[in-house]
Each structure stands twice: as structure tokens, then as C-alpha cells.
């Protein structure tokens, strides 16, 4: 028996490769399926099943393309309805993979069709459970993402029954393999590890402690922030189907000359620049949106970019394929090509250039006392802002900046100083503001991490939010 967790950090997503006696199964594959096909080939195994724990909201699954490539059936749990062919497993149904067995355990709560897969080894012993978004390390899946018409409290009640009767009844030594790790928006506060055991979760996971159903419902529904706006889009794609990733890649990787790129800009397509944030600020095509590959790229792209508009790409040379793949993972399929030769080719051909002024935190400290029009814009999340911020600063979380109305209280002659936690999100924010026609701004390099080290800058906390 062989199990490998295939973890993708920028999405905090874990897919799984399971193999026994020359047969393999994939659980929750990403849209780019070559890794699974190649792994099976290297190990001289054939992929027999593709198991899906639920309709994922945070990424587009590779189930359809992988099924076409391998002939393996796609298996979902009870209550699943799709527009493509799947095997809908019964609760308790088993599937043989070589000498091991996978048992479907229907665990509604995160979604109606959510299903965990219990692995029984060659000796008939329960060995591990692949919990999808039902159970994480230190958390459970949020109950407000269902594609049904149920309230989150109703789904939380289902989750309680699933936890009590399907999860907590398992032996303490069974390994827990969840679909997500820290940073995922599919739960409230996932722990730092990407696997655990049933026993460990019984001891440390707030959702598995002894409590009434009413206490459980309150615990899992309290403090839920709004999910990223692309979540329902991705869930719908996973339920209804999508274009082959090969066709998306072919179109997205089309090399565009300076003239071709400029023509598309004139046609009002979005220009997405995926170079590093500190490179972008030094020079970029006017109107570009910066989302650097070095951060939680796909998540921010899904949260900030429209899915119904075409866009073209400026990438670091050699990063074109990675950019298109990571965008395709969250459902983008209207990419129309990459600037050939990157930004350097644009400048060499005489293209226009814009910049963002970078300043250090100590420069901010010097400007605050003498500039009556200075406004510090903090684009971190509300809870980050509450835990410490520049006195009198304005909190506009990055996700809100796609709406021009978020800047309604900012005057045209205000001098804006933009910052986030470390400098990645503030560059995205600055590019969005410039695209809206707001150019009187500066980016504070290093963000809050550097600002709080400068004793001359007065800071404060918001205890009402933290409590």
C-alpha cells in the first residue's frame, strides 16, 4: 500500500494518490492532472478510480479531464447531481483497489453531498480516512457554502450528526487526511498541519469536543467571514463541467507581440501582471493589475478578477505556463495570451510606462506630522487591522477594493499611503486604485511588519473587534 499527499500551498489544497498492487485512486485532483498521470506511470500503476469528497468551491477539480485521460470513473457521494457521468456511491459502499478497500461514508454538513473515504488496508484494518472538507486539523468545514437552499444552521446540524456518528466513532489511531491545510477559506481557522489522527482531533479540535447539538451549531457558525466571491462560481463549474485544460492552456499561452498586445489593450481587455510585487512597482503597463505569483496568487485572482472578461498576461519570462495553470485551477478560461518578451520587450518597443512610488516606514513617520492631507490606507483584513494599526488609518480590506465605492470617502487631493501586512497585498491594492484613476498614492514597503517597528508612528488596537 502506498499513499502520497500532493499538496499545493497557494491553494492550501491536498489531493491524494493511493495505490495497491498496481491499481491506484486519486482523491480530489486539481485541474492540471499531468502530475497524477505521471506519478501512476512512474509507479507502473493504472488509475482505477477518481474520488471526489464534494463539489469544491475554492478550485476547479481535475475529475473530468482525468477521467477522459484514464477511463477511470468519477465517484461522488450520495445526493450528487451533475451534468456529466459519475458514479454516485451509496453510504457504506466499498471499492477495491488492489488489496485495499475504500469505503464511502456520507458526511453531509459542509455540503449536502460531502463524503469521506475510509481506507481499509490489506489486513482488513481501518487505516486512514480522507475527510475532504468535513474534518480539518483543528477545524471542520464551514457550513455556509452549500449549493442547496439550506441555512448554515441547518447544514451545521447535519455536520453535527456526521461528526458524532461517522467520525468520532472511528478508532483513535486512524490517520486523518483532509483536503485543506492552513490558510484555506473553507474553514474558520485550520491548524498548521496537513494531517492528523482521530485521537488527536478528539483532544484538540473544538468541533469534536463533547457538546450539545445547539452548542456545536453555535461554535461552527460563529465568526464566519464572507467567503471569496469566486467560491460559488467554482462550485458551479465542478458540478456542471468545463472546457478541457488543454484548450485553455493553448489559448492562454499564445505569444503576443507588442503590436498584438497593444491592440488587445485598445479592445479593453484586462492586463494582469504576475511579476513579483517589488518588480511591478518599478515599472508596468498603465492600467495593469498586479497579482504576483509569489503570494496566494490564484485565490486573489479569483477574488478580484471578473470571470466574464478576457485578459492578457505579463509574466516573468519562463513563468507563462505556471501563470496560466494557476489561473485555470480557479476557473479562468478567457486568457488570450502572454506578452512576448515580457515587460522589457514592451519598453524596448516604446510602450508607455507607469510606476508606483515605494517608501520605507520611517519615511511615513516623517510625513505624518507635516501633511494634513495624508491618509493611511490599511488593506489588511478587519481582524488584522483590529489587532494593531496606525492611529487614524482607514481600513479597506483588499477584497473590497474591486468596488470603486470603497473609496467614496477619499478626497481627490488626499495623499494616500497604502500598506498591508508585508507588502504583497498593498501592491495589488495600489494597482487597482491606479486603474480606477487614483494616482496620488505611495506603497509602504514591508507593510505593518515594518511600520510597527518605528516608534515614532502612533498605533492602536480595536478591542471591540478582537473580543
Instruction: Report d(CA 192, CA 201) in Å as an integer.
Output: 13
* Interacting residues of 169 by C-beta distance below 8 A, sequence separation 6+: none
Task: Identify whether residues 39 and 89 lie together within a single domain.
Answer: yes
Task: Note whether 459 and 433 are same-domain residues.
Answer: yes
Same-domain status, 381 and 316 = no
The verdict on residue 171 lying in a domain is yes
Shared domain for 250 and 399, answered yes or no, is: no
Contact residues for 214 (Cβ-Cβ < 8 A; gap 6+) = none
Are 181 and 294 in a shared domain? no
The pLDDT of residue 465 is: 58
Q: What is the CA angle 362-365-366, rounded to 5?
A: 95
Residues 416-442 have pLDDT tens digits of 999 999 999 999 999 999 999 999 999
> What are the counts of helices (DSSP H) followed by strands (DSSP E) for the chain?
17, 26
- Band of pLDDT at residue 411, cut at 50, 70 and 90: confident
Q: Is residue 238 situated within a structural domain? A: no
d(CA 162, CA 182): 23
109 and 253, same structural domain?
Answer: no
Tell whether the model's pLDDT for residue 147 goes beyond 80: no
pLDDT band at 135 (very low <50, low <70, confident <90, very high): very high
Q: How confident is the model at residue 408 (pLDDT cuts 50, 70, 90)?
A: confident
Task: Give the tens place of pLDDT for each residue, 215-233.
Answer: 999 999 998 888 888 999 9
Which pLDDT score is estimated for 361?
Answer: 97
Render pLDDT for 81-132 as a digit per residue (tens, 0 to 9).
999 999 999 999 999 999 999 999 999 999 999 999 999 999 999 999 999 9
Same domain, yes or no, for 214 and 267? no
Q: Per the structure block, which three cell numbers stand in for 22?
A: 498496481
DSSP string, 259-321: HHHHHHHHTTPEEEE-S-HHHHTT-B-TTPEE--TTSSHHHHHHHHS-SSS-EEEE--TT-HH
Tell me: do 225 and 261 sit in the same domain: no
Mean of the pLDDT values across residues 161-165? Answer: 97
Domain with 57 in it: 2-233
- pLDDT (mean) for 370-376: 93
The residue-averaged pLDDT of 155-166 equals 97
pLDDT tens track for 294-347: 989 999 999 999 999 999 999 999 999 999 999 999 999 999 999 999 999 999
Q: Which of 326, 348, 370 lies at the terminal end of a domain, its last residue?
A: 348
Q: Mean pLDDT score of the chain, rounded to an integer?
A: 95
pLDDT at 188: 85
276 and 371: one domain? no
pLDDT over threshold 80, residue 146: no
Q: Which residue has the higher pLDDT, 52 or 149?
A: 52
pLDDT greater than 60 at residue 467: no
Query: Is the pLDDT reported for residue 464 higher than 70?
Result: no
C-alpha 166: how far from chain center: 28
Residues 24, 152, single domain; the answer is: yes
Measure the CA–CA gap between 79 and 88, rounded to whole angstroms.
8
Residue 376 is part of a domain; what is its CATH number?
Answer: 3.40.250.10
Domains held by the chain: number: 3
- If asked whether residues 134 and 250 sit together in one domain, one would say no
Q: Vertex 187, ends 183 and 191: CA angle to 5°?
A: 55
pLDDT in tens, 265-300: 999 899 999 999 999 999 999 999 999 999 899 999
Amino acid at each position: 500500500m502506498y499513499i502520497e499527499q500532493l499538496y499545493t500551498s497557494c491553494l492550501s489544497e491536498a489531493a491524494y494518490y493511493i495505490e495497491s498492487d498496481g491499481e491506484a485512486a486519486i482523491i480530489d485532483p486539481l485541474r492540471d492532472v499531468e502530475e497524477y498521470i505521471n506519478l501512476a506511470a512512474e509507479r507502473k500503476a493504472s488509475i482505477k478510480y477518481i474520488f471526489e469528497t464534494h463539489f469544491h468551491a475554492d478550485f476547479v477539480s481535475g475529475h473530468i479531464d482525468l477521467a477522459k485521460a484514464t477511463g477511470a470513473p468519477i465517484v461522488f457521494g450520495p445526493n450528487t447531481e451533475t451534468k456529466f457521468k459519475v458514479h454516485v456511491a451509496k453510504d457504506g459502499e466499498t471499492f477495491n483497489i488492489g488489496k485495499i478497500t475504500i469505503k464511502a461514508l456520507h458526511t453531509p454538513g459542509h455540503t449536502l453531498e460531502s463524503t469521506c473515504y475510509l481506507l481499509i488496508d490489506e489486513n482488513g484494518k481501518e487505516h486512514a480516512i480522507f475527510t475532504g472538507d468535513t474534518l480539518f486539523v483543528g477545524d471542520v468545514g464551514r457550513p455556509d457554502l452549500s449549493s442547496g437552499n439550506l441555512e448554515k444552521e441547518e447544514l451545521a446540524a447535519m455536520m453535527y450528526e456526521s461528526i458524532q456518528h461517522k467520525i468520532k466513532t472511528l478508532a483513535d489511531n486512524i490517520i486523518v487526511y483532509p483536503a485543506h491545510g492552513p490558510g484555506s477559506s473553507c474553514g474558520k481557522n485550520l491548524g498548521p498541519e496537513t494531517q492528523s489522527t482521530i485521537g488527536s482531533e478528539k483532544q484538540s479540535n473544538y468541533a469534536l469536543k463533547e457538546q450539545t447539538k445547539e452548542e456545536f451549531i453555535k461554535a461552527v457558525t460563529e465568526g464566519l467571514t464572507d467567503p471569496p466571491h469566486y467560491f460559488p462560481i467554482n462550485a458551479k463549474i465542478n458540478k456542471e463541467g468545463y472546457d478541457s485544460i488543454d484548450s485553455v492552456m493553448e489559448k492562454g499561452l499564445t505569444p503576443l507581440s507588442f503590436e498584438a498586445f497593444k491592440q488587445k489593450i485598445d479592445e479593453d481587455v484586462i492586463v494582469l501582471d504576475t511579476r513579483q510585487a517589488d518588480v511591478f512597482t518599478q515599472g508596468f503597463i498603465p492600467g495593469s493589475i498586479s497579482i504576483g505569483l509569489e503570494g496566494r496568487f490564484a485565490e486573489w485572482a479569483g477574488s478580484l478578477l471578473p470571470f466574464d472578461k478576457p485578459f492578457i498576461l505579463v509574466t516573468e519570462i519562463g513563468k507563462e505556463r505556471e501563470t496560466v495553470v494557476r489561473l485555470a485551477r480557479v476557473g479562468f478560461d478567457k486568457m488570450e495570451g502572454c506578452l512576448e518578451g515580457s515587460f522589457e520587450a514592451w519598453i524596448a518597443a516604446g510602450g508607455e510606462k507607469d510606476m508606483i512610488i515605494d517608501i520605507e516606514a520611517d519615511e511615513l513617520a516623517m510625513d505624518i506630522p507635516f501633511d494634513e492631507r495624508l491618509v493611511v490606507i490599511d488593506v489588511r483584513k478587519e481582524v488584522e487591522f483590529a489587532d494593531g494599526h496606525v492611529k487614524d488609518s482607514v481600513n479597506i480590506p483588499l477584497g473590497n477594493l474591486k468596488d470603486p465605492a470603497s473609496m467614496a470617502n477619499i478626497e481627490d487631493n488626499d495623499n494616500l499611503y497604502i500598506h498591508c501586512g508585508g507588502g504583497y497585498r498593498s501592491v495589488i491594492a495600489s494597482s487597482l486604485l491606479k486603474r480606477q484613476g487614483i494616482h496620488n498614492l505611495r506603497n509602504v514597503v514591508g507593510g505593518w511588519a515594518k511600520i510597527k517597528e518605528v516608534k515614532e508612528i502612533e498605533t492602536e488596537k480595536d478591542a471591540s473587534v478582537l473580543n
